[in-house]
Structure formats: C-alpha cells, structure tokens
Structure 1
Amino acid sequence: MLSLLLVLTGCASHPKDEDSLAKPDTEATFPVTIGSVTIDRQPTRIVSLSPSATETLFAVGAGPQVVAVDSLSDYPNEAPHTSLSSLSPDPEAIAGYHPDLVIVSADSTGLAAALAKTGTKTLVMPAAANLDQAYDQFVQLGRATGHQAEGESLAEQTRSDIDKIVAGTPKPAKPLSYYYELDQTYYSVTSATFIGGVLGRFGLTNIADDGDPSNSGGYPQLSAERILQADPSLVFLADSRCCGQNAQTLAARPGWNTLTAVKEGHIFTLDDDIASRWSPRIVDLVRAVSDAVTRAEH
C-alpha cells in the first residue's frame, strides 16, 4: 500500500548535456555530512529518485544542479523528467547521467553500494513520519546541495504557514470525524501516519484508528460496512486523479448516499500527488483540509 501513495505519472526527456552543469556556489561550505554520508564538494549533477526530494530541491534553489529525475517526479514542470524508476532503480541507467549525488527515499536494492563503485554518493531521504521530519529534510537537502540558508528558510516558512492556517481555522462546535480514502478497496490511513498527523492538527477524529492507530502499520483496509457504520462527518478522497473518484462516484456506491458527509456535501477531493508527498506543497494540503473544516462548520 505504501507504493500506492507514489503511483504518479511522469514524462520522459533527454538528459542534460555536460555544458549545463550548474556553477558551484562559492559561499557553500563543504564537506558536509548528512547521516552517514559525507559530501565532499557541492554536487553539480544530481539525480533525484524521490518526488518529494525533487520538489524540495527546486524549492531550495538547487534546480539548476538537477540533471535527471525519476518518472514519478512530475513537479515542478521544469524538472528534467526521465523514465528512471524509483521503485526498481537501475544503477547502470542512473550512472548514464554521470551524477555526483543521487537522492532516493529508500534503498532496498543495494543501489548505494552499486553506485559507490563509480564514486557516486547516494543520499537516502526516507518518508517523513511527521511534519517535523519533513521540515528537517528541507534543511538537510539544502545543506547537501550548498543551499543551507535556503533550506532553513523554507523549513521556517513552511512551519509558519501551516501554523497560521491551523490557528485561523474555526474550531468545530462538535467533534468532526473523517474517513480518508487511498483507493477504492478502502485502504485508509490512521492518526499514526504522516497524513493522519496533519489532519490531527485540526482536532479531527479518524475512523480508521479503531482504538489502535498503529494497526496495520498505519494503513488498514476498512470495509464498506465499517465506514457506513462510523458515518464520518467528512470524507477525503486521495484517489481522485489516479482513480477518478469524486463526490458523485462515492454517492453512487451502494448505501453510501446515507452517509452524513454525502447528504451534507462534505466530500472533499485532494490532489493525489500533494497528499502523498512530504514536500513544501504540504501547505496546499493543509489549506485544503482547513477549507473542508471551515465549510463543514457553515
């Protein structure tokens, strides 16, 4: 199910040529150590195999240093999209871009060891478990690419924006519950997940918790009967782009027109990409949830 959160579309393009190397930032201080990886000098040819990292790299000003991104990294538009796979990375294909730094969200295939033979460093930026970890990755990616000040500024601004949105959202007169849909087979998220923590900032009750937020690693598969019985106040659909789900298709499911959320028009579609990434666009997700809570209170 975790892989379903990353099923996004991408377009192929040609690699940047050698003449497009980004000029080093003379004010950057290297070497820098991120976790167990020491980066000796500012990287000028970065390959990103993580959509979240790709978005963050461009947000901190490291875009000109990026020579290739994986097929799932569809934002921003100017990112050098390729057919590289983030789920089954091919060391030989990656090496063809002559990177001096490769960024991934996980390394279960021995990619780092394979690339190390060519002298290429691999930096693992795992899925953030909460907002604080996302902010920390903004800083770390800034440091790794010679844009530490920009990374710190991005983390501070993102935190501030989210705090302001949450503080400015009307507090529900009565507790609001929600169902968060990952796909049409009723996989959901609990409060123990990154997305569950974001929604938890608004004081919402997650019907998937069922007394144990750690159930199924935070990604339980519910049943239609359980969802109907819980009768959530709000429904968030994170399968609108991938699977064409919306208020109309949900209401057409057998028995679902009886849900309070359906009758009161509290079905909210989310951008699948934004809802599955721990990137600076978290602010857009938080704003969407704020709008939903505000609408439910009026």
Structure 2
Amino acid sequence: MSACAGDDAATGDAGAATTATGAFPVTVSGDAGELTIDERPEAIVSMSASATEMLFAIGAGDQVEAVDTTSDFPAEAPTTDLSAFTPNAEAIAAHAPDLVVLSDDLNGIVDALDALEVPTLLLGAPDTLEESYAQVQTLGAATGHPDEAADVVADVQDRIAAAVESVPAEVQGMRVYHELDPSFYSATSETFIGSVYSAFGLENVADGAADASGGYPQLSAEYVVGQAPGLVVLADTVCCGQTAAALAERPAFDTVPAVREGRVFEADDDIASRWGPRVADFAESLAAVLRG
C-alpha cells in the first residue's frame, strides 16, 4: 500500500478521526502497509534525508533521536554513522527508536526491524508534488503534529504557486534539461523533480528518451544539444563541480539557447534531489532564472 496514494494515505482511515488533534493511537499508511502508533513517538530514527527535513519542518525535531549520514539539513539534525545505503537493523535498534522512517527497503531492512519489533514507516520517493505533500501529512499524523504538517503543506503550495505565477507567459512550452551528472543522466516528467517543471509548463527533453529507465534516462550530448533546451538545470554542482561556465565549454553547447541566453540554473544538488519542504526554495530560484 502506497503512502502517497492521496489524502487518505496521509493518515489511513482508522486514524482520520483522531489526527486533527494529534491524538493517539493513530494508524498511518506507508509503502509497506499500515502502521498503528499507540503513543506519540519520542525517539525517532530517520533513515531518509527528505523525511528528516520534513520532520524538523513540522516541529517534530525534538522527537528525532538519530538520523543517517545523508541527513545534513537542518544543521541541528542529530547525524550519526547510520547508513541509509547499507542499513543495519541492530545499529538502528541500538538507538531504542519508537519509530523508524525509511525511504528505501534495502537489505530487507523493513523485515529485519519488524523482527526486532521496531515500528517502521516506509515512505519512498514520490513521483509528484501532491505525493510529497501526502508524506508530510503522514509524518504529521505519525508524530502528533497534524496541524503543523498542514501548515507546512499550505506554505509550500502557496510559495510554488506564487513562483509559477511570477514567470512570463512565454515560458510555457520552453524546453528544460535537468542534469543529474556530467554523463547526462536526467529526470523525466514522471519523477518528483519533473513534476516541478510541469507545474511551470515546461517541456522536459528527457521525456523523449528512447529508454526512460524508470524516469531517469541517460541521454547523450548530441541529444541534449539537438533538443535546444531554453533552460538547463545543473543538479550536479556539488557532486561534480559543474557550472554554467563549464557547461558552455562542452563541445557544441555554446549553441544551446539556455547557454546563449543565460538561463543555466546552478542548483544545490541536495535541494534538487530531495522531496521535502525546500522544494519551494527550488521553485523560487527556478522562477528567478526564468524571469531573467
């Protein structure tokens, strides 16, 4: 059962009547099914950088006992040596969590934690903005912060709507190339970040890839140049040191409209890859580039 199936997924039917006041017990739905939480969790372990950002944004930060190595925002997040890529159930259980939040079921970690009787909520990467909002609401219900979660969702929605409204009409239909790394891996409209571009009315060049590869195809330099994108978003500035200047030096890229006209967005890798509330920051920065 998906945690991102819609409004019902935020709380589960069983919890819908109680979560408005943050009462417990509450039942929430995640990608691994329903989870009933008897009392407000006070020792949360987050194994998802996006979930960590959501938890702190909704006011549950003081309930977070430990987070994985990738959870570097906000600064006060209690980062540990727990690895989200090679999760270890015993290492997680050592923090005595009353709730573990995960974005991936790697190494059979969900079953392993279940065997240790550790309550686990699996919230995988969403495909749309709406699905990410549902995750915020799910975490709000699970932690006793439903009202704060609703406020966070409303704020992000308002900010993105304002960002979209701020760009000129001629932006509609502009082609965008989103770069994940210098080997031309990209993201289609069927991904979370792709849904942001769709909200702006942009045409994603990755959608035309012969092999969509689950939404993250590898394109080629020739393909990208041939698509003549009017906007390029570099989501590999931190990992790979890419810049607008470096992009312009690639063979034939000086002919790309985005490069010629100065619409290359040097994005923060983390903000561009996570589905927490900072997506509003991304949308606002994107709008500023589109406004010129």
TM range (shorter): 0.7 to 0.9
CA RMSD of aligned residues (A): 1.6
Equivalent residues in 2 for 1:83-162, closer than 5 Å: 83-162=81-160
Q: Which moves more between the two structures, 106-115 or 38-47?
A: 106-115
- Alpha-carbon separation, structure 1, partners of 2:217 and 2:125: 18
What SS class does the counterpart of residue 107 from structure 2 fall into? Answer: coil
Equivalent residues of 2:126, 2:191 under 8 A apart: no
Name the SS of the counterpart of 2:76 in structure 1: coil
Greater helix content: 2
CA contact (8 A) 1:54 1:75 kept: yes
- The verdict on how the C-alpha distance between 1:60 and 1:254 changes in structure 2, with shifts beyond 3 A counting, is same
The residue that corresponds to 2:9 in the other structure is none
**Which letter maps to 1:271?**
D
Cα distance in 1 between the residues matched to 2:282 and 2:224: 23
Structural mapping, 1:219-258, within 5 Å: 219-258=216-255
In structure 2, the partner of 1:80 is: 78
Contact 1:51–1:277 (Cα < 8 Å) also in 2 = yes
Deviation for aligned residue 1:173: 6.5
Give the superposition deviation at 1:122: 0.5
**Matching residue within 176, 182, 197 for 2:195:** 197
CA distance in structure 1 between the aligned counterparts of 2:22 and 2:186, rounded to whole angstroms = 43
Shift of 1:108: 3.6
Deviation at 1:28, TM superposition (A): 3.3
CA contact (8 A) 1:172 1:293 kept: no
Moved beyond 2 Å, runs of 4+ = 116-119
Looking at structure 2, the residues matched to 174 and 200 of structure 1 have their Cα atoms a distance apart, in angstroms, of: 10
SS at match of 1:279: coil
Shift of 1:211: 7.5
Counterpart in the other structure of 1:188: 186
1:24 is matched with none
Q: Summarize deviations over 1:190-226 as a string: whole Å, max 9, x none.
A: 11111111011111111111187x8221111111111
Aligned to 1:13: none
CA contact 2:89–2:109 (8 Å) conserved in 1: yes
2: distance between equivalents of 1:56 and 1:148?
12
- How many residue pairs get matched? 268
In percent, how many aligned pairs have the same letter? 47
Q: 2:67 aligns with which of 69, 75, 78?
A: 69
Q: Report the TM-score, using the length of structure 1 for normalisation.
A: 0.86
TM-score by length of 2: 0.88
The CA distance in 1 between the partners of 2:258 and 2:61, in whole Å, is 42
What secondary structure does 1:196 align onto? helix
Code of the aligned partner of 1:290: A
SS of 1:143 mapped into structure 2:
helix
Per the TM alignment, residue 162 of structure 1 is displaced from its structure 2 partner at its CA by 1.2
Q: Secondary structure at the match of 1:253?
A: coil
- Gaps (5+ residues) in structure 1? 1-26
Whether the aligned pair in 2 keeps the contact of 1:199 and 1:289 (CA below 8 Å) is: no
